[in-house]
Structures are given as structure tokens and as C-alpha cells.
């Protein structure tokens, strides 16, 4: 098959982008030809992918996206593609990989009626409707079952157009035979003693992931515990507002920003707790990555993959977030003798659970959607 993959932006450390690349690699492995259309590609170019970057005009994100869709339309029409697969919501897709939550639901929940008069809102709903409306023919690869009912509520999407995928974390996240050596090396590099705590946050999009909540909770730890702990933050985003917050809270010497990294698994092995108090999160792949690495997790129930933490008994999930409850949970988990048990439970669960096959299943479905 010749397939067009469309996404607004590629950068190496985004969850959607990593999913896109793993699906693309699986399609290439099976002999399909993949043309990629994007406004921006950061990082190395991938062998086998024909990547076309589109220079767009516009003062705002949504106007640049509209220009992108306008510009790629003739390429898609002339390319004789068997399928057009999108990783962002946009018109003209045969298949959409649903990495994002329902925009309309989020906008109505978080903004007043005046926001719904803005051009950004109208654009985003129109692009979402192009994928999910009952008049659309787009097949939807769903990665979070919770979202199906929400999309159906707002757009009356036919249920048979949703196709639920299993999770798809990379197998290199599994704790290797030399996990203890890697843990010791990373902690030595950062001068963290065995009796000190390394708390970890992973993910681009610090605001959405709840980094402010983590910093507030860390600042409220008892002094004796706080003085034996550090927060390490991995992800590509603007750190400045959170650096300022850490200074305001008096913990800036305890918060370390590492940027986007390729060696995340080493930090999953080195840390003592993964903190992920997200405001909203379609899935939360890092929760499963932590579980496979044997890192206990403290997260919120809004994350699509949070139930895996409960099933595996590999940490704690806060069902209705309050800062006070999160603060208390952090302190208790740091001091709990259950941490060794949570670690073992996560590793054991990852050995038997199907949390790796998303790319293969996604390409299976894409092959089945081929136009006659």
C-alpha cells in the first residue's frame, strides 16, 4: 500500500509522535510505502519515510493548521494513496489515530460561553467534527476506551467506526537484567545517596501533566523528608514558569530539569516514585513504562491508563484530585514499606500483560481499511 501519514508537528519526545513513528516503522517493515506530511520535523530524519515539511503562514496555531491542510490537499489528491492516516484531527482522513481527548468537551468544561465565540474554538470543533461526525467516513483508532462515549455524545459517531487498540509501550522499558547497575550509575551521576529519594516526572507539556501540583506537594513535605529528596523533570517544554514557581516555594535547589532525553528508561530505573498528577491525559503511556521498569506510580484517575496501576497494584491512583490528598499520598508513599512490593508487582504484571502490541494491531487495522 501507499499511505500518507499527516501530523502537524513531529518532535522526538512527544507521546503522539512516538506512537506515530512506531506505527510508521511497523508499516515500513511490512513493505508499505509511507509519505509523511508535517509542518515541522525536529530530530533526525527516519530512513524509509518520505518526509515533506510544509511551510505555513498564519499568526496563530489554528490559522497555520488551516494553511497546512489547504496546502497538502493537492498532494493528497494527486498521490494516488490507498489511505490517508492522520495523527491530528483534520478534514479528509480515511483513518484517525485518536491520541487526543475530545476538544469540545474540554472546552465546555474549562471555559465560559464567550470562549465558544472565538475563531480558535470554531476551528478546533470543525476539525474534530470532520473526523467524528456521523456524516464522516473516517475510521478511528482509539487508544482510550473512556473517550468513545464522549465523542459519541457530542458528534453521534457510529460505534462501529471506533477500533480500540491495546497499549503499545516499547519493550526497552522492561527492567533489564542489569537494572540495579543502571540505577546505581544514574544516582551516582546525580549524587543521590541510597537513603535519598529521587522523584520523577516524565512528559512534554508540563502544565497538562500537573507539574505545578507536584511542586506544591513537594514543598509541603516535612522538612526532614524534603531535605532527603529531589524532583527530576524530563520533557521538552518551557520550564521557566515552573522554575519561578519552585523559587517561590523555596525548593528550586531540589528541582532539576533535564529536558527531553533518549535515556528515559535509565531514569525510570533510578527513581523511587513516578509522579503524574495530570489535569487531563488520554492515556499516560509513561504510567505503563514505569510499571514495566518497576517504578511505583502516583497518578490521577483522569489518565486513560491509570486502571493498569490499580490492576497491577503498582502504586496509587487518586480518583478525585485535591491538592491536600495528593500531598498526603506523596508523603505516605515515600515512607511506605510497600514500595518494594509495588516494584515487584509492576515487573510481574508487565511480563504477562498485553501492553506492547499497539503498533502491530494499528497496522493490522490500517491494512483492513484499504480502499477497494
Task: Write the DSSP string, 270-317.
Answer: H-SEEEE--S-BS--HHHHHHHHHT--EEEETTBTTHHHHHHHT-EEE
Q: Are residues 121 and 175 located together in one domain of the fold?
A: no
Judgement on whether residues 160 and 260 belong to the same structural domain of the protein = no
What span, in angstroms and rounded, lies between the C-alpha atoms of 286 and 79?
A: 36
3-state secondary structure of 259: strand
| DSSP-based three-state secondary structure for 327 | helix
Asked if residues 204 and 264 have their Cβ atoms less than 8 Å apart, the reply is: no
Give the whole-angstrom CA distance, residue 20 versus residue 41. Answer: 13
- 183 plus 318 within the same structural domain: yes
As for how many domains the chain has, the answer is 2
Query: Does one domain contain both 347 and 361?
Result: no
CA-CA distance, 219 to 269, in Å (whole number)?
Answer: 24
pTM for this prediction? 0.88
- What is the pLDDT at residue 372? 60
> At residue 254, what are phi and psi to the nearest 5 degrees?
-110, 0
Whether residue 212 is found in the same domain as residue 361: no
- Three cell numbers written together for 340: 518494594
Regarding whether 18 and 79 lie in a shared domain, the answer is yes
Q: What is the DSSP-derived secondary structure letter of residue 6?
A: E
The cell for 183 is: 540505577
- The answer to whether 204 touches 235, Cβ cutoff 8 Å, is yes
Q: Are 149 and 63 in a shared domain?
A: yes
> Are 246 and 207 members of one domain?
yes
206 vs 225: CA distance, rounded Å: 24
What is the distance between the alpha carbons of residues 165 and 145, in angstroms, rounded to a whole number?
A: 9
- Long-range contacts (CB closer than 8 Å, 24 or more residues apart) made by 328-337: 329/298, 330/199, 330/217, 330/218, 330/221, 330/273, 330/275, 330/298, 331/221, 331/222, 331/225, 333/273, 333/296, 333/298, 334/197, 334/199, 334/221, 334/225, 334/229, 334/272, 334/273, 335/225
Pair 206, 235: CB distance under 8 Å:
yes
pLDDT of residue 70: 97
pLDDT confidence of residue 280: 87
Give the pLDDT of residue 371: 75
Domain at 82, CATH number: 3.40.50.2000
pLDDT values of the chain reduced to their tens digit, one per residue, 372 residues? 999 999 999 998 888 999 999 999 999 999 999 999 999 999 999 999 999 999 999 999 999 999 999 999 999 999 899 999 999 999 999 999 999 999 999 999 889 989 999 999 999 999 999 999 999 999 999 998 889 999 999 999 999 999 999 999 988 888 999 999 999 999 999 999 999 999 999 998 999 999 999 999 999 999 999 999 999 999 989 999 999 999 999 999 999 999 999 899 999 999 999 999 999 888 999 999 999 999 999 999 999 999 999 999 999 999 989 999 999 999 999 999 999 999 999 999 999 999 999 999 999 999 999 876
User: What was the pLDDT predicted at 79?
Assistant: 87
Are 301 and 318 spatial neighbours (Cβ–Cβ below 8 Å)? yes
Strand (E) positions, 167-266?
Answer: 197-202, 229-234, 255-259
CA–CA distance, 280 with 213 (Å, rounded to integer): 13
Q: Based on the fold, state whether residues 122 and 211 are members of the same structural domain.
A: no
Residue 19 to residues 2, 24, 367: CA-CA distances in angstroms?
A: 19, 9, 17
Q: Which domain, by its residues, includes 7?
A: 2-166+357-368
Amino acid at each position: 500500500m501507499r499511505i500518507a501519514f499527516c501530523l502537524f508537528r513531529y518532535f522526538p519526545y512527544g507521546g503522539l509522535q512516538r506512537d506515530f513513528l512506531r506505527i510508521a516503522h511497523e508499516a515500513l517493515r511490512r513493505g508499505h510505502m509511507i509519505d509523511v506530511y508535517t509542518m515541522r520535523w525536529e530530530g533526525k530524519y527516519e530512513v524509509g519515510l518520505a518526509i515533506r515539511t510544509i511551510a505555513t503562514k498564519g499568526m496563530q496555531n489554528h490559522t497555520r493548521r488551516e494553511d497546512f491542510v489547504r496546502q497538502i490537499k493537492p498532494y493528497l489528491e494527486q498521490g494516488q494513496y490507498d489511505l490517508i492516516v492522520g495523527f491530528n484531527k483534520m478534514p479528509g482522513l480515511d483513518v484517525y489515530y485518536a491520541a487526543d481527548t475530545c476538544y469540545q468537551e474540554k472546552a465546555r468544561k474549562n471555559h465560559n460561553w464567550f470562549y465558544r465565540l472565538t475563531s480558535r474554538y470554531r476551528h478546533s470543533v470543525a476539525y474534530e467534527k470532520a473526523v467524528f461526525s456521523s456524516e464522516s467516513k473516517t475510521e478511528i483508532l482509539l487508544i482510550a476506551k473512556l473517550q468513545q462515549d464522549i465523542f459519541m455524545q457530542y458528534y453521534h459517531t457510529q460505534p462501529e467506526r471506533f477500533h480500540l487498540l491495546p497499549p503499545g509501550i516499547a519493550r526497552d522499558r522492561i527492567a533489564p537484567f542489569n537494572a540495579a547497575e543502571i540505577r546505581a550509575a544514574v544516582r551516582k551521576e546525580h549524587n543521590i545517596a541510597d537513603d535519598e529519594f529521587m522523584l520523577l516526572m516524565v512528559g512534554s507539556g508540563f502544565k497538562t501533566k500537573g507539574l505545578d501540583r507536584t511542586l506544591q506537594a513537594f514543598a509541603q513535605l516535612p522538612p526532614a523528608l524534603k531535605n532527603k529528596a529531589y524532583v527530576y523533570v524530563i520533557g521538552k517544554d518551557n520550564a521557566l514558569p515552573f522554575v519561578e514557581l519552585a523559587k517561590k516555594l523555596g525548593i528550586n535547589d531540589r528541582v532539576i530539569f533535564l529536558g527531553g532525553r533518549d535515556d528515559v528508561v535509565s531514569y525510570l530505573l533510578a527513581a523511587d516514585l513516578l509522579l503524574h498528577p495530570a489535569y487531563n491525559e488520554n492515556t499516560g503511556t509513561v504510567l505503563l513504562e514505569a510499571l514495566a521498569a518497576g517504578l511505583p506510580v502516583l497518578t490521577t484517575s483522569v489518565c486513560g491508563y491509570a486502571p493498569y496501576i490499580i490492576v497491577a497494584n503498582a502504586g496509587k491512583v487518586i480518583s478525585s484530585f485535591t491538592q491536600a490528598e495528593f500531598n498526603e499520598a506523596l508523603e505516605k508513599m515515600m515512607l511506605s514499606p510497600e514500595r518494594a512490593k509495588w516494584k515487584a508487582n509492576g515487573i510481574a504484571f508487565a511480563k504477562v500483560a498485553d501492553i506492547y502490541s499497539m503498533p502491530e494491531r494499528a497496522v493490522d487495522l490500517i491494512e483492513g481499511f484499504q480502499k477497494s
